[in-house]
Amino acid sequence: MATRTLRKALVAMATAAVMTTTVLTTTAAADAGASHPGHPATQEALEAHVRTGIPGVLGQVRDADGTWNGSAGVADRDTGRKRLPEDRFRAGSITKAFTSVVLLQLEAEGKLRLDDSIERLLPGVVHGNGNDGRGITLRQLLNHTSGLYEYLDDDFFKRIGTTDWPEHRYDTFKPADLVATAVAHPPKFRPGTDWSYSNTNYVLAGMVIEKVTGASYESEVERRIVRPLGMRATSLPGTSSQIPGPHGRAYSDLGGGPGAKIWDTTELNSSWIWSAGEIISTVGDLNRFYGALLGGELLPKKQQQELLTAVPAKEAGEGEAYGLGLFRTTLPCGGYIWEHGGSVNGSLSVAASSPDGRHTAVFNANGDWGDADLETVVKAEFCAAKQPVRR
């Protein structure tokens, strides 16, 4: 089990092993190891990650010129198979935007309000040690201003995410137990007075979805988002440890540092992160989701405005702000994008979009050690001068 906090900053841990680099405009081109024109700055950023030591990175960009697929390195260290656009991977905290969309749709249907207290929605769940659900709203969960303790920072989860991971990779955790771990600690601050990323918030949000709808979190995401958008390669595994469909391997040093053993972490039970980070998807499906989300296809105007109302998120970096499941990131070249990273042992991802949803990009690394940063790939894509797409 990975217990590295799924903060955007941790997406910075993506790097890769020195292997043949390819731009996957077609599978044949990938097999030949050929490099073609199109998004050269982005491709170079992918290759730079590979040179630092992680097996492989994968990306897809969609803009006015079409779809571009790029990769570097390998999907499998044993076979040397290249990374392919159809490969599925654990998307981690990119899941949070899916959770927010479901709750905003429920608000549009009149089934809840963002300013409802957590005590009203989940009576007695957030209580004790200075925690009081009466003073925390659903909005504060979604924008990380609740002050609730990050349960992944608890010593138990730190251990089973690193040294004890092999023993616990198939363990099942109930959402209520994750929240109980969090409220065993005092809050970091009074609700609404500061910002701090906490997966506890989104586990509670998933519990709200189930309480209000009477259905499972997974079924609501599938019914409201996955199926309507035709995201056929996206799944919510629940307690299953498998990645369905075509996929490469995921690799982790389990936080061991230079020289540590590298583990194959492809199979794991993601119930430890549930509605805060369980989704399995592809670069294509996540680009479709981000395009639809920022393009206004999933929410009424009022809820879209709520989604994109951001609060300062200085803990994540200067110029960062957080909406409801999305970071608003100021670009060094001017302007801003909406994005979110995701980290699960052996899989680091980031999805990003222009404000209008017309330029989207998704990247994934299949290793989690080193000091490279997938944000460098994002900035290369959105800040590079004209990057022609090979058709």
Q: Would you state the torsion angle of the CA atoms of residues 205, 201, 359, 48, taken in this order, to the nearest 10 degrees?
A: -140
In terms of DSSP H, where are the helices of the chain? Answer: 27-32, 40-51, 95-108, 118-121, 138-142, 155-160, 165-168, 175-183, 199-213, 217-221, 283-294, 301-307, 374-383
- Rounded Cα distance between 217 and 168, Å, is 24
DSSP character at residue 341: E
Catalytic site residue from 93, 117, 198, 252: 93
- Rounded Cα distance between 269 and 257, Å, is 24
Q: Which string of b and e fits 231-248 if b means at least 16 CB within 10 Å?
A: bebbbbbeeeeebeeebb
H or E element that contains 340:
strand 336-344
Is 93 annotated as catalytic?
Answer: yes
Rg (CA), the chain: 20
Q: Any idea which residues carry the catalytic annotation?
A: 93
